[in-house]
Amino acid sequence: MLPVKPFLATIAALLTTCLAIGQSGLKSDQEPFRPLLHFTPQAHWINDPNGMVYHDGTYHLFFQYYPDGTKWGPMHWGHATSTDLLQWREHPIALYPDSLGYIFSGSAVVDAQNTSGFGKDGQLPLVAIFTHHDPTGEKNHTGKFQHQSLAYSIDNGNTWIKYAGNPVIPNPGIIDFRDPKVSWHEPTKQWIMTLATKDRITFYSSPNLKEWTKESEFGEKLGAHGGVWECPDLFTLTQAGVQKWILIVNINPGGPNGGSATQYFIGQFDGHQFTPDDEQTRWLDYGPDEYAGVIFSNTGKRRIFMGWMSNWDYADRVPTATWRGAMTLPRDLQLVKTSDGYRVASLPSPEVNKRAKLLTERRNVDMHLDKVPFVTPPNTPYAITLRGARLQEFSVRLFNDAGEELIVGYDQQKGQWYIDRGKAGQKDFANGFARRHVAARFTNSPQWDLRLIIDKTSIELFADGGLTTMTSIFFPTTLLNKSQLLATGPVKADITQVHTFSPD
Ligand code: FRU
């Protein structure tokens, strides 16, 4: 007879495989809209990435998850792990709703010094810090229905135990009081929680993750305020010996192209207070489809960012069948000094580049004359990389034989990069879905580079070394596996490359 635990694990694995094949009975590469390089749930609804943490060679991704439907519902934390940030294995649900409410967004840390005391027999605890959202309190308009709570794991993230003393930060009377992101602040030797509190960020400190003291507030009168502030993050980035603190604040609605988006501030943090360098509103991703993005914790000097690849404007209507929602590709963040001050650049993580295989390369291309399309094999994610010495108006047309197309390009007059999904496939599920989204260019340099990663129903744009980033989803009837460079005059690309990504 099988011992009980492995037996249960076998059943769980079998169930997982059945789910992976999907309710439609299709394998993921046959499902019409399912990306192959991005994380998607085997079934049902997801939104924000949660509790992203690296521990003992494994990346853990938790996520807002509703296991009973393809629309938002009572939130759980789903769970997946990966060793390369690309191939994810989904695990049983980590956190279920309980008497304190649904499990909203939050973070996870490795409590390396066992400050919480949750560790046992030398096994270090992973601690999740999340928002409990009480739906009854919400219905009764108590104004105090979101609280911060803890759960811990002493088996490397496999199973989670809710802390008996929850909540650790009861609601002080703020309706939107959520999405704690916690990190260790070495100079003051304490934990810092960055919490979204309606129209500002509130910082708390703690010696042990259980007892928290309010330190300060930031942002009531700074940044974008077209919507509520959600899912913040706080971390350092260093460039040429200069260290800056980056404060990420997701906002919904009020993004640069409508709906939800990720803004950030650059400044200093002294363990108590965040002081911005200036009053600029900066956006980490200008596209419509990156939201709730934050970084993994415990990754040393690397800052690996991932967001939810959708927008609250239409997330619950996108035409996928058995699952809804995906994560962006992992991106490494870097601090870059521009003529206009510091900015954060995003580039696909090295793990993504490692999987890319060169399919075609053309040099000294005249975009005006080179009309032969690049064709990539079916069901294969691909990347287009272009570089040139003098940026002028041009575009890249991605298309299929059904007459659908996605246009990506540079508008010289406006100095903007853009992605136009106006004719890229299904669009009637949401008003205003089919349009052009634009983003500023953040360098005056004539030299330029553009990297596009296309994965069936998504495109991620990284221009000028990642200074401009955009994410957009689209739903063509057949894949847009042909691409063509367009220009009205003699515009040159020094190098054009197409890479494909193999699934493993
Ligand atoms: C952001 C968000 C969070 C909240 C969660 C609920 O997308 O609204 O503020 O914790 O989603 O699912």
Q: Is the pLDDT of residue 11 over 70?
A: no
Pocket perturbation via mutation, ligand 1, pick of 46, 102, 104, 314 by most ligand atoms within 8 A of CB? 104
Please give, one letter per residue, the 3-state secondary structure of 178-199: EEEEEEEECCCCEEEEEEEECC
**Ligand 1 centre and the CA of 86: distance in Å?**
24
**Ligand 1 centre and the CA of 404: distance in Å?**
33
Phi, psi of 445 (to 5 degrees): -60, 135
Q: Which regions of 296-404 does DSSP assign to beta strands (E)? A: 304-308, 323-324, 331-338, 341-348, 356-366, 374-375, 382-388, 394-399
Other residues' Cβ atoms within 10 Å of the Cβ of residue 239:
13
**Closest ligand 1 atom to 228 CA:** 9
**Ligand 1 centre and the CA of 103: distance in Å?**
10
User: Does residue 148 have its Cβ closer than 6 Å to ligand 1?
Assistant: no
User: Does residue 179 have its Cβ closer than 6 Å to ligand 1?
Assistant: yes
Q: Closest Cα to atom 8, ligand 1: which residue?
A: 230
User: Does residue 104 have its Cβ closer than 6 Å to ligand 1?
Assistant: yes
Beta-carbon contacts of 453 under 8 Å, excluding residues fewer than 6 positions away, are 37, 329, 348, 352, 381, 382, 383, 459, 460, 462
Q: Closest Cα to atom 9, ligand 1: which residue?
A: 230
User: Does residue 77 have its Cβ closer than 6 Å to ligand 1?
Assistant: no
Q: What is the pLDDT of residues 397-431, one digit of tens each?
A: 999 999 999 999 999 999 999 999 999 999 999 99
User: Does residue 261 have its Cβ closer than 6 Å to ligand 1?
Assistant: no
Q: For the residues 305-310, what does the mean pLDDT come to? A: 98
Pocket perturbation via mutation, ligand 1, pick of 105, 249, 250 by most ligand atoms within 8 A of CB? 105
In this predicted structure, what is the pLDDT of residue 392? 96
Instruction: List, by residue number, the catalytic residues.
Output: 48
The residue whose two tokens read 């939130």 is 75
User: Does residue 230 have its Cβ closer than 6 Å to ligand 1?
Assistant: yes
Q: What is the pLDDT of residues 124-138, one digit of tens each?
A: 999 999 999 999 999
Q: For the residues 179-187, what does the mean pLDDT come to? A: 98
**Ligand 1 centre and the CA of 88: distance in Å?**
22
Cβ proximity of 194 and 234 under 8 Å: yes
DSSP of 231-289, one letter per residue?
EEEEEEEEETTEEEEEEEEEEES--TTSS-EEEEEEEEE-SS-EEESS---EEEE-SSS
Three-state DSSP class for 351? helix
Q: What is the pLDDT of residues 322-373, one digit of tens each?
A: 999 999 999 999 999 999 899 999 999 999 999 999 999 999 999 999 889 9
The residue whose two tokens read 């509103």 is 281
User: Does residue 105 have its Cβ closer than 6 Å to ligand 1?
Assistant: yes
**Ligand 1 centre and the CA of 82: distance in Å?**
24
**Closest ligand 1 atom to 196 CA:** 9
Q: For the residues 485-494, what does the mean pLDDT come to? A: 94
**Ligand 1 centre and the CA of 104: distance in Å?**
6
Q: What is the pLDDT of residues 79-113, one digit of tens each?
A: 999 999 999 999 999 999 999 999 999 999 999 99
Share of the chain above pLDDT 70, in %: 94
Q: What is the pLDDT of residues 15-71, one digit of tens each?
A: 443 344 333 456 667 788 999 999 999 999 999 999 999 999 999 999 999 999 999
**Closest ligand 1 atom to 106 CA:** 10
Pocket perturbation via mutation, ligand 1, pick of 171, 178, 199 by most ligand atoms within 8 A of CB? 178
In this predicted structure, what is the pLDDT of residue 26? 61
- DSSP 3-state helix, strand, coil percentages of the chain (rounded to 5)? 5, 50, 45
User: Does residue 48 have its Cβ closer than 6 Å to ligand 1?
Assistant: yes
Cβ proximity of 16 and 90 under 8 Å: yes
In this predicted structure, what is the pLDDT of residue 202? 99
User: Does residue 313 have its Cβ closer than 6 Å to ligand 1?
Assistant: no
Q: What domains lie within the chain, and their CATH numbers? A: 4-11+355-501 (2.60.120.560), 37-348 (2.115.10.20)
**Ligand 1 centre and the CA of 433: distance in Å?**
21
User: Does residue 292 have its Cβ closer than 6 Å to ligand 1?
Assistant: yes
**Closest ligand 1 atom to 72 CA:** 12
Q: Closest Cα to atom 6, ligand 1: which residue?
A: 104
Tokens at 171, concatenated = 């609601």
**Closest ligand 1 atom to 75 CA:** 12
**Closest ligand 1 atom to 179 CA:** 10
For residue 135, which of 203, 66, 193 has the smallest C-alpha distance? 66
